[in-house]
Structure 1
Amino acid sequence: MRIGMIGLGKMGGNMAERLRRGGHEVIGYDRDPSISDAGSLKELVERLDPPRAVWVMVPAGDPTRAVIEQLGELLSDGDIVVDGGNSHYKDDQRHAVELDAKGIGFVDVGVSGGVWGLEYGYALMAGGAPEHIGQLMPIFEVLKPAGEDGFVRAGGVGGGHFAKMVHNGIEYGMMQAFAEGWELLEASEAVTDIVGTFKSWRHGTVIRSWLLDLMVRALEEDPDLAELKGYAEDSGEGRWTVQAAVEHAVPLPAITAALYARFTSRQTDSPAMKMVAALRNQFGGHAVASSEGQTGKGADSPGADVPPPLP
């Protein structure tokens, strides 16, 4: 097939390269002219033969909306737009309606595999009409891992990104569990070979996984993680997963806690923990650290002003 790829960053660029290695012709467009095959979206569309397929790999939100709106003006009846970014599934449904009015198909694809996908393939979760999915199967067959499942038509439009959203929510919970386990091992004097412990879990255990492999890789490079700051962004899908859980009245305590843990990582001096410390000081007489790092008077300290107990 000949396909257009819009956005040639770490994901889009590698996907374009994997498609080329698989025998497809890719016309790429990027804002960076040094890596772009076409000088404009209009030129990209003109270089594709009808029925055209154009894959969009730009940041979710306004950038994706702007590109799809432009493609709606450039493409023709029978063409297909693929959104392979991390868009919200409700955006997919709006885009499908808008493009369908012009006879243009729309498919949303959740893509997982990161920078390793070029070598090992990408897990693909697609949403869209069966006939549109069918037209794109030669592309999906090359992008997914060879000889493995790796691809699913998760449902109609929006189904692909909804599945990827939940996937990323699960990822949040798994990463948080590994991180908490590592912190506990670090805090204990009972285990002296922490890296070796995680390595031993990679074989035969019920928690062996690619995330565990990556964790071992990180610890081998920096056993104490001394080069890193305890800060983690959330890419959006974690929030959307929790919001969807509220909409569907589905309890997600582990994923929700993992999302909140990422918010906590952004606070160098947590306001909530300041209040926890203040309350402990008030009811228990615990020593409390001041903002300058000094220990202030607790309720048991001489001269502390202790209110009388409630009746």
Structure 2
Amino acid sequence: MDIGMIGLGRMGGNMAERLRRGGHNVVGYDRDPQISDVAGLEELVERLPAPRAVWVMVPAGDPTRQTIHRLGELLEPGDVVVDGGNSHYVDDQKHGEELAAKGIGFVDCGVSGGVWGLENGYALMVGGDEEHVKRLMPIFETLKPEGEYGFVHAGKVGAGHFVKMVHNGIEYGMMQAFGEGYELIAASGLVTNVPETFRSWKEGTVIRSWLLDLMVRAMDDDPELSGIRGYAQDSGEGRWTVQAAVDHAVPLPVITAALYARFASRQDDSPAMRVVAALRNQFGGHAVESAKGADSAGADVEAPSV
């Protein structure tokens, strides 16, 4: 099958390569001319036979919006666009309506697999009309892992990125649980071999998983993880998951706490915890640590610890 791939970065480039290995003809465009097959979107569209299929793999937000808007100007009725980035599902609904008005199909596809996807395949979560999804199945079949699992047509336009958003929210909670468990085990003073403890869980336990495998792999390189700063970014899906939970009145305490933990990781000196320390000092006389690291005693009062 012929397909255009816009965005040949770490994910898009590997996906294009997997498709080529699967026998598909991929015309790739990237702003970096050294890895691009064409000079621009116009040439990409010209190189593809009608009806065309174009996969967009650029950062979410304005880059995706601008790319899809431009494709709407260049493509023809009967063509179809796939957004495989991490777009917000609300944007998908707008893009679907915009392209449908011109007779152009739209499919949103949440993609998971990271740098391992080239060899192992990508989990694909798709939203869109049945006719458009069916037409793209040769592409999906090549990108997904071999076997029964790794692909779902989740529902209408927006459904693919919605379930990918929730998938990433679940991922936040699972990673946070591993991190907290690690910290407690390391702090216990009882466990002298933390990496081997986690390695032992790779078989026979209910928490065995790919994330556990990756954690063990990280500790193989750095057993105490001393070379890594405890700072975690978020790519947006966690925030959108929590916002969707508010919109639908669905309680998500674990995922919400995991998101807030990432925010806390970015503060060398948390303003909120400074307030907590100051209040404990005021009502209980508990010692506080100065900005320079020295302890200072509070008022001479007897009070229970809080």
Q: d(CA) in 1 for partners of 2:252 and 2:20? A: 41
Aligned to 1:303: none
Aligned to 2:96: 96
Whether 1:272 aligns to 2:272 is yes
- 1:124 deviates by 0.2
Aligned to 1:251: 251
Whether 1:43 aligns to 2:43 is yes
Q: Output the amino acid matched with 1:8.
A: L
Aligned to 1:121: 121
Aligned to 2:146: 146
Aligned to 1:171: 171
Find the residue that maps to 2:136 and give its secondary structure: helix
Q: Output the amino acid matched with 1:100.
A: A
Q: d(CA) in 1 for partners of 2:147 and 2:175? A: 28
Q: Output the amino acid matched with 1:257.
A: A
Aligned to 1:294: 294
Aligned pairs (5 A) from 1:76-225: 76-225=76-225
Deviations along 1:81-101, one digit per CA (max 9) or x if unpaired, are 000000000100000000001
Aligned to 1:61: 61
Q: d(CA) in 2 for partners of 1:62 and 1:9? A: 17
Q: Output the amino acid matched with 1:35.
A: I
Find the residue that maps to 2:18 and give its secondary structure: helix
Q: d(CA) in 1 for partners of 2:155 and 2:92? A: 12
Deviations along 1:92-136, one digit per CA (max 9) or x if unpaired, are 000000000100000000000000000100000000000000000
- 1:77 deviates by 0.4
Q: d(CA) in 2 for partners of 1:292 and 1:193? A: 34
Deviations along 1:213-266, one digit per CA (max 9) or x if unpaired, are 000000110011111111100100000000000000000000000000000011
Deviations along 1:31-65, one digit per CA (max 9) or x if unpaired, are 00000001010000000000100000000000000
Aligned to 1:237: 237
Deviations along 1:169-201, one digit per CA (max 9) or x if unpaired, are 000000000000001111111111100100011
Find the residue that maps to 1:235 and give its secondary structure: coil
Q: d(CA) in 2 for partners of 1:132 and 1:104? A: 10
Query: Root-mean-square deviation (CA), in Å?
Result: 1.2
Q: d(CA) in 1 for partners of 2:57 and 2:142? A: 17
- 1:297 deviates by 1.9
Q: d(CA) in 1 for partners of 2:158 and 2:59? A: 17
Q: d(CA) in 2 for partners of 1:299 and 1:254? A: 38
Q: d(CA) in 2 for partners of 1:234 and 1:225? A: 20
- 1:204 deviates by 0.8
- 1:282 deviates by 1.6
Q: d(CA) in 2 for partners of 1:12 and 1:21? A: 14
Q: Output the amino acid matched with 1:139.
A: I
Q: How high is the sequence identity, in percent, across the aligned residues?
A: 75
- 1:148 deviates by 3.0
Q: d(CA) in 2 for partners of 1:287 and 1:268? A: 20
Deviations along 1:120-178, one digit per CA (max 9) or x if unpaired, are 00000000000000000000000000123110000000000000000000000000000
Q: How many residues get paired? A: 303
Q: Output the amino acid matched with 1:21.
A: R
- 1:299 deviates by 2.2
Aligned to 2:262: 262
Q: d(CA) in 1 for partners of 2:218 and 2:40? A: 40
Q: d(CA) in 2 for partners of 1:241 and 1:297? A: 43
Q: d(CA) in 1 for partners of 2:241 and 2:224? A: 32
Q: d(CA) in 1 for partners of 2:44 and 2:185? A: 53
